[in-house]
Homo-oligomer: A and B are copies of this chain.
Amino acid sequence: MRPLHCKIVLVRPRNPNNIGAAARAMKNFGFTELVVVSPHPPIWNEAVSAVNAVDVIANACVVETLAEAIADCTFVVGTVDRSRVEPKQVIYTPEDLSRDLQATPHRLALVFGPEKNGLTNEDLSHCHRTLSIPTQPGCPSMNLGQAVAVCCYELMRDRAQHSTKIEPPAQATAGEIEAALQLALDLLRISDFILPGSEADLTIKLRRSLIRLNLRDREVKTLCGALRKIEQRLSGMRLPAPPHS
């Protein structure tokens, strides 16, 4: 069976049963990498003591931010319920994702939001695609554990029939793109481009644009080099450079 590089990322989950259910579904379908972003500590402790899929939970990473969770990934897919898809928009489904991964191998992060309100726009600005399970419009919101189960099932469904070799991806990782974004923001800050109170919005817009470009790792390296050079020049014009830096 062709290996699939996929981590499941749960952002701020609120129910330990759902964390346990997600871990069990992952194990059912052969996924092992679980990352939990900023869980409420007592909730996480309760999930750790659950019986199901102990090894998936024990090996889970707990991180503070979504950016950390996805830093080494080349394709980040955020999940939302169908009510958040515009009426005329075509839904990007688990099946579409599975097909895209057959065509282009990736280090995938599949990101699920908190039970009550789902991923924020800031969370989604980190994602290359927004995926939605095609539920009924009258009852769009799925239970978290069940949504993870459906996605894991779909990703593994056809996999036994394919055996192409995974090439190391040439795409930039989310971490490399985020580093470029932060460099660009530094530059814009130094240049007084950022109006007071507008930084959060601008960050989301810029991140979306950078992600849409589908940059290769070498392109991002070049971009970062250029940004650093400009920043050095700008800093030099405003303040004398600190010695030996």
Contacts and interface: CB of A to CB of B under 8 A. Distances in A.
A139 interface: yes
B95 A136 contact: no
Interface residues of A, number: 30
Contacts of A160: 134
A30 to B, nearest CB: 5
Contacts of A135: 28-29
How many copies altogether? 2
A28 B132 CA distance: 12
A27 B156 contact: no
A166 interface: no
A24 B29 CA distance: 22
A218 interface: no
Contact of A143 (B21, B95, B156): B21
Interface string A123-149: 000000000011110111111011001
A127 B214 CA distance: 50
